[in-house]
Chains A and B, each alone.
Chain A
């Protein structure tokens, strides 16, 4: 890697089109809105008989998953197929890296296959940035989750879900609840919400599950649900990994559930029309009560549906951004 690249520099073409989607941080509001608008049009399409468009015909999308995933991988696969791309799924967590192959070697091998897009999930923060810095200029990189850093497509499907239910972001109070410390989803949500102009962003968690300087990201910090959820319009729950008990971050699942689990009782603190979201997979009885997850305020299944539309939007925009960049480069070469 050469000079330190800011998120917008590496993600955008010279004329401001999306070419990689690595993080929601630093992208202009107009571009995030364009992603949502494009996704909206794809969402309408998926309700029709023929669900396919030829936008990525002849393109090869490689899903490079260094970390296990079922739902993110399958929605990316479905999104690519609906755009008529050829899709290759590579689950690398179990193969090459265990044989000592470096990420750089794996990338060079993938490169030789002449694919047009890498969708990458990796357990190291910054892995997607690293990959984007290593690939040739005509390969688009979409971050499907890197460490604790970013999960931008998840955040954008959350934004689409909020916009479809609530309309304008400006008057909204949004609370993100749970394991903020380990959450790439929370970080991407916060950047996206700020850029889209959400009125107030809160995080609610015990201090052990909050990064030390989280308030520097422009959020209000709460450590209890009764004040944190007061009058909020959107509640975004996070998944609690079972390993957290072992690393002395929490005494027990039951104590966490008692204090931070979203139950109908606690939901009553929020605005009467508040919606409840969760990136899945949910731990019933750990961070959310079944009655809430399956209740009338839950939009969890809408999130899944919107996930396909958002991924189609991002993939098609990145491919056209790459094409625009290539045309520009050719013109410059002349």
Chain B
């Protein structure tokens, strides 16, 4: 199967490519750029004029809800949503039911994803058994079954000794640990940023310290153990500064941020709109500015969707009783393109945060269009305006504040391993 993607603006940050040219795909791999390889006969020509052609997006945090929470989302639906959003690789947290603390669950998730063949799903394994924060999960076995990294999600590892040992054990096997830093005590019962809006609404706040204290604690232990570490979905300006200082000291740490925390602030919660109930919470304009700055200085190397689909009823209750999160796979790219329109990032820089950046964090040979790599390709029209409609969403969750809003930038074709898995 040979595919010619013709006349698009090909952007590949890994190779420093940003030009209008042709891209050639043969037998599931990128086979040439600019000029056809010898004897190339296209079975299909994709006309990409006026569109951007880039590596398939890699999303560092997307809940697929299966197994266990299929009323919210399924691997079939969420990978279909991913494909329609140009995302070819999803990293999914271990908080399924059962939790990903046995190889069987990790394998089940990957098998289901392979069965549907719309996006690759890489499970994160639990750092501790049952995410209970007491006993170590069998990390070596889990890694053998395809777990790409290990995390205790936002569930606390209360004992610092257990945390230290978990990191030592992960370091023993050179495994990546991902922190979703949140202090259990300071965030208990909290449902939004502890700011002026929270004060007025009389909701339980989550102070910045709930994140920064845990970031600081984890950094100290990362320094001691030398484990490969990544911080996911930071929400506070001060956390960015902590990561920056650690990197300056030479620590091997990376960090990402969700697009919602780059665009929105806690003021959106006014009026108790549960669509803005997120975890981590939307924070102050100051925090948002700090996160945006962190993106520019490359303290934050990736942007993720933090996709958390829910069934309708999960959002139909008084604010604190609703479940947090937004369904975001189908909006990740158009929302990210706002950063280009706002002149925070250039187009190529943005693509890097969605492809090469996350690939490097995960130590994957992906996120590039280099010759010989697997042909995961996203083709999108950066100018196309469209409106997000619930009935057209592929994800099981329609919980997003961007419903019925006009967005700019739409994926037209997605290739996974050289196969067209989505075409508009």
Contact = CB atoms under 8 A, between A and B. Distances in A.
Contact of B275 (A1, A124, A127, A212): A1
B273 interface: yes
Given A102-B313, A212-B205, A126 B200 contact: no
Contact of A216 (B196, B205, B276, B316): B196
Counting chain B residues whose Cβ lies within 8 A of the other chain, the interface size class is 20 to 34
Contact of B273 (A1, A134, A216): A1
Nearest to A150: B202
Interface in A1-35: 1, 3-7, 10, 25
A217 interface: yes
Interface stretch (A57-65, A141-149, A282-290): A141-149
Contacts of B268: 4
Given A4-B270, A213-B195, A126 B320 contact: yes
Nearest to A131: B318
Given A125-B320, A126-B318, A1 B274 contact: yes
Contacts of A272: none
B275 A184 contact: no
B317 A103 contact: yes
Nearest to A123: B318
Contacts of B320: 124-126, 147
A217 B200 CA distance: 7
B201 A125 contact: yes
A149 B202 contact: yes
B250 interface: no
A126 B199 contact: no
A104 B274 CA distance: 14
Contacts of B319: 124-126, 130
A125 B199 contact: no
A6 B194 contact: no
A104 B203 contact: no
Contacts of A184: 202
B28 interface: no
A214 interface: yes
Contacts of B205: 211-212
A314 to B, nearest CB: 20
B198 interface: yes
Contacts of A125: 201-203, 272, 318-320
A114 to B, nearest CB: 22
A187 interface: yes
Interface in B182-227: 194-196, 198-203, 205, 207
Contacts of B201: 125-126, 149
B271 A213 contact: no
A82 interface: no
A81 interface: no
Nearest to B195: A213
Most buried by A among B201, B268, B321: B201
Contacts of A173: none
Given A124-B319, A125-B202, A130 B272 contact: yes
Most buried by A among B194, B270, B272: B272
B390 to A, nearest CB: 12
Given A126-B319, A146-B318, A187 B202 contact: yes
Nearest to A122: B318
A129 interface: yes
B271 A129 contact: yes
A268 to B, nearest CB: 32
A10 B317 CA distance: 17
Contact of B317 (A104, A149, A187): A104
Contacts of B321: 103, 124
Contacts of A4: 268, 270-271, 273, 276
Most buried by B among A5, A25, A212: A212
Given A4-B276, A6-B270, A104 B200 contact: no
B203 A126 contact: yes
B312 to A, nearest CB: 10
A214 B195 CA distance: 9
Interface in B275-302: 275-276
A134 B320 CA distance: 17
A290 to B, nearest CB: 30
Contacts of A150: 202
Contacts of B275: 1
B71 to A, nearest CB: 14
B318 A124 contact: yes
B317 A213 contact: no
B38 to A, nearest CB: 58
Contacts of A7: 271
Interface string B304-320: 00000000010111111
A212 B200 contact: no
A246 B313 CA distance: 34
A127 B318 contact: yes
B210 to A, nearest CB: 13
A147 B199 CA distance: 12
A10 B199 CA distance: 20
Contacts of A103: 317-318, 321
A211 B201 CA distance: 11
Nearest to A134: B316
A91 B363 CA distance: 58
Interface string A163-190: 0000000000000000000001001000
A146 B319 CA distance: 11
Nearest to A128: B318
Contacts of A134: 316
Nearest to B403: A2
Contacts of A216: 196, 199-200
A130 B276 CA distance: 14
Contact of A126 (B195, B272, B315): B272
19 contacts: A1-B272, A5-B271, A122-B318, A124-B318, A124-B321, A126-B319, A129-B271, A130-B317, A130-B318, A134-B316, A146-B202, A147-B202, A148-B202, A148-B203, A149-B201, A149-B203, A150-B202, A211-B199, A217-B200
The 9 closest A-B pairs by CB, nearest first: A148-B202, A124-B318, A149-B202, A126-B272, A216-B196, A211-B199, A127-B318, A126-B319, A4-B271
Given A1-B275, A102-B317, 4 more contacts: A6-B270, A102-B313, A187-B200, A214-B199
